[in-house]
Amino acid sequence: MNTNSTYREVLKWASSFLEASGKEGIAAERLLMERQQWNRTDFVLHLNEEMPSDSKRQLIEDVAEHGGGRPIQHILGYEWFYDLKLKVTHDTLIPRPETEEIVDKFLQQTKQDDSLKVLDIGTGTGAIAIVAKKQRPNDDVTGTDLSPKALAVAKENAEANGVAVRFLEGDLAAPVKDEKFDVILSNPPYIGEHEKNVMDQSVLDYEPPMALFAENDGLFIYQRLAKELPRLLNPNGKIYLEIGYQQGEAVKELFQKAFPEALVQIEKDLSGLDRLISVQT
């Protein structure tokens, strides 16, 4: 690579390096744009300019780390979720775009002028709880998690994004077992241990197992929630749960038994795969 290389030339090298390492070449663009705090227009405008040596050095370091298996979010220290910047660490699950669909459904199916009690179980970075509060500031939002380290990150994210969310440490809904809620949201662990051999190694290396895996082919947490949530949900309440794409019918059956009078539906994501279960009592 020439000393006086343009952004375009350095990106071409970086993309080729990542592809040779089994990663997507487009990741080089994201790393550059995030480090430079550029939008797409900025990126296009600067492509043919000479790349400063410090920026080049940073990109080379970032690309080497990502090529070695480290997720982009851990290199940067954050991920974007619903246009909010959220800190991530080894103690939290990286927020993913498909989880935004839980929030989408909740917002679409809830009247804006209602003031609700909302519970996010297994909050992790606080992503769901923080966005819910940001979008609906009059709601009373609580997030629970078993991990004190994850809760510390969630509290930091809430403060950084200017929202007041109550975060409580404990197993699933145990910290709020004597309360009632209008809406319950959760992206629980739902990957079966048998699926480890088909997972990306970076997920296994950098994300907490307790946020990923569940017993009984990934259904264990849903089985517990189906038993615990009926006493927590107010009349006319709603539940939105993220699921694995092969778990729709099994989870729907669990919650239809738990809420025999409710409308329980499997909702698909933008790719047409089963992505969440909604319960409307």
Q: Is 188 annotated as a binding residue?
A: yes
Helix (H) or strand (E) holding 134: helix 127-135
Instruction: Tell me which DSSP letter residue 213 carries.
Output: B
Q: Is 189 annotated as a binding residue?
A: yes
Q: Is 125 annotated as a binding residue?
A: yes
Output the CA torsion 204→221→88→275 (10° steps). Answer: 90
Q: Is 126 annotated as a binding residue?
A: yes
What distance in Å separates the CA atoms of residue 164 and residue 95, rounded to the nearest whole number? Answer: 20
State the DSSP string of 104-121.
HHHHHTS-TT---EEEEE
Helix (H) or strand (E) holding 231: none
Q: Is 187 annotated as a binding residue?
A: yes
Helix (H) or strand (E) holding 8: helix 7-20
124 contacts 168 by C-beta, under 8 angstroms: no
172 contacts 122 by C-beta, under 8 angstroms: yes
Instruction: Tell me which DSSP letter residue 193 carries.
Output: G
Binding-site annotation: residue ranges: 122-126, 145, 187-190
Binding-site annotation: residue ranges for substrate: 187-190
Binding-site annotation: residue ranges for S-adenosyl-L-methionine: 122-126, 145, 187
